[in-house]
Chain A
Amino acid sequence: MFVVVLTIVSLSVCGALALIGGALAVTLRDPIYAVLALVKAMLGLAGIYFLLGAEYVGAIQVIVYAGAILVTFLFVVMLVNLSPEDIPPFPRGIALYGNLILAVAWLLLLSTALSAILEIPAPEQVLLHVEPLPYLYGTLPPLGKALFTAYAFPFELLSVTLLIGIVGASLLVQKRPSS
């Protein structure tokens, strides 16, 4: 009982952290604070990943997302000298309220559709093969085994994606030719 309450409380805290971080990231005027708020959201998400039993994915989330991607964002914000004065204010009037109503309507639609999850047909009703795992999904052994057997080819293709990122970035950030 205690463990269940603890899980629910920590999930709520992490979820609140993620939501508040996300809300701040899309509202703060100062781009540096916005990026830092997104780091906070990422950390909250990593906490949820841990609580869902995927320790490895949570660690990667902290290292790659919060540690690498968003730090690159910070570098670029500083490189292009983006200050709060450069950020145009939120639109007023119809543009603001229209978009807000749109977002709330979208959220309502989403959560209505999601409530179907509560009466989702059991997998054996619709699946032909159900192969339950003898271990917990998110630990390193099943992930590593899957990554280097069944998912070996996508994994290799992902290295091509990274190469495209490197080559593409080096193409894009070249200096303007002097001629």
Chain B
Amino acid sequence: MKVELLYAVLTLSGGLFSLGLLGLLLRRNLLLAFLAIELMLNAANLNFLAFSRYHNEPTGAIFVLFGICLAAVEAVIGLGLVVRLFRAHEDLGFTKLTALRW
């Protein structure tokens, strides 16, 4: 794989990570912040795959498979927490989470 192509893919993943970070900073809602985190995890996955192609070695591809699985479990726990918080407060805004001084 050409290094220039690798650079292009890495820049794309950097852009996705930055978008996720921006969303996390700007979105004042739990679910949407969580959506931004998914974007950040995907940026890391894209990096792994690009480097795996570059080295022609399967570790990165396997890491992506594991990463997808971990993200799935994370989504389950996160959404479970969202439901729990909803049951406790009926409201999911960051701004309303005043009890612990966000």
Contacts and interface: CB of A to CB of B under 8 A. Distances in A.
B68 A64 contact: yes
A172 B9 CA distance: 39
B92 A80 contact: yes
Given A26-B23, A161-B69, 4 more contacts: A69-B75, A103-B18, A107-B15, A118-B3
A25 B62 contact: no
B92 A48 contact: no
Contacts of A168: 76-77, 80
Contacts of B72: 64, 68-69, 162, 165
8 contacts: A11-B5, A19-B15, A26-B27, A52-B9, A69-B71, A73-B79, A103-B22, A106-B21
Nearest to B15: A19
Interface of B is mostly: helix
Interface residues of B, number: 71
A110 B81 CA distance: 33
Nearest to A158: B69
A123 B55 contact: yes
Contacts of B12: 15, 18-19, 48
A165 B31 contact: no
B42 A133 contact: no
B39 A22 contact: yes
B62 to A, nearest CB: 6
Contacts of B28: 87-88, 91
Contacts of A52: 9, 49-50, 53
Interface in B13-58: 14-23, 25-29, 31-32, 35-36, 38-39, 42, 45-46, 49-50, 52-53, 55-58
B7 A118 contact: yes
Nearest to B81: A172
**What bracket does the count of chain A residues touching chain B fall in?**
35 or more
A110 B80 contact: no
A114 B43 CA distance: 14
A99 interface: yes
B17 to A, nearest CB: 7
Given A25-B39, A38-B38, A168-B76, A91 B58 contact: no
Contacts of B65: 57, 60, 143, 147
Interface string A104-133: 101100110011011010010000000011
A177 to B, nearest CB: 12
A11 B23 CA distance: 25
B70 to A, nearest CB: 7
A41 to B, nearest CB: 7
